[in-house]
Structure 1
Amino acid sequence: MDELQMLRDLPAVANVSKDRITYSNAFKQVCVIRYLAGESPTKIFREAGLPPELIGYKRIERSVARWKAAVLKSVSGSSNMSNGEIITELVNLYVHAVTRKEKLDDIAGIANPDKANIGNAPHPLDEANVSGGGYISADVPVPSDAAAIAVPPAPLSASSGLDSETALVIIKQQARRIDELERENESLRGKLKTLAS
């Protein structure tokens, strides 16, 4: 029962029973975006406090595959899109949903104590390669109730001061760079096949 309580306390987990774990929608979205950006599902789960030794490697793989399939259905035209383009579309959808939720919370007068603490949380883009050679190594802006989900342990430097709009621009740049690299890779594979023939 200790493990069940530990799981219930995690922001990534919506509900737990003795034979089932239901993950929060925010965690699912962040997980798929990071997975499409090239991160290991096991790493993402571990950073969210969900070690594979407890959850199970197969369960993690099946969950991410199921979430990815569901997300790809939600992105229109995804069958013709690269991972970079899909990531950009998902980030746009996600940021829109987060903004809408926060506006509705403000209208409803729902106090959100975590909202003020987001600026003090580790920033997910501190380790991202913004010059364009790498991949997105972190999550996207998350709703305040999910601020602790899957954020790498890099501290936010006071000088970086990234807001959600800047983070979104960086993520879009990285998604475009991923797309460029995928196309270049495909071109090189074609040339390699030609040389091998």
Structure 2
Amino acid sequence: MEVARAFSVPRMEELRRRREIRGLGMCVRMPFPALADVERSHGEAVAVRLVRMYVIGLNDSCNQQRMTAEQIVELAELLYEEGSGLKITEMFEFFREVKKGAYGECFGSLDGLKVMVFFRRFMQERERLVRRAEALLRRTAGGEGRRRADCVPMPESLRAFVSSLRDGNGKNDAAPQGVPGYSERGY
């Protein structure tokens, strides 16, 4: 299974419907790979494409002034630079929350500057969650063993794929095929 299909918007929405991911707090705790893991196993171009896929989904949800193809590419690269340490599920959750207006309103137009402002707010929220989780781990007995017990188990359907990312055994799919938003639009 290639990276883009495994973490496509429809696939991530399916995981949400099945309640396997439920909000940023759970995404932080889940053992999914980070964008940096995808870069190590498949190259930076594939990691940026994942982000671009989510940007395209956000852009498609905008009713009025949408971003151009060039703006989408630039925004995906900026978000990747700023968020390569995020888990794929966290990046997905960011875009989902932006669509819901959690970090501000778009007022009928979407551009990279607005999304980057929203991203900074998201990162602040994430940092608060991480600090709280780390404080809880320090207070509870068992330390590292407790951390594993608090983790949410990964859906079985993605376990082997994620293992291949971490092991570096994933095939290089620098040009994902059949992913909506890539081949039809050329970006």
Q: TM-score, normalised by structure 2?
A: 0.29
Greater relative contact order (CA < 8 Å, ≥ 6 in sequence): 2
Q: TM-score, normalised by structure 1?
A: 0.28
- Higher-Rg structure is 1
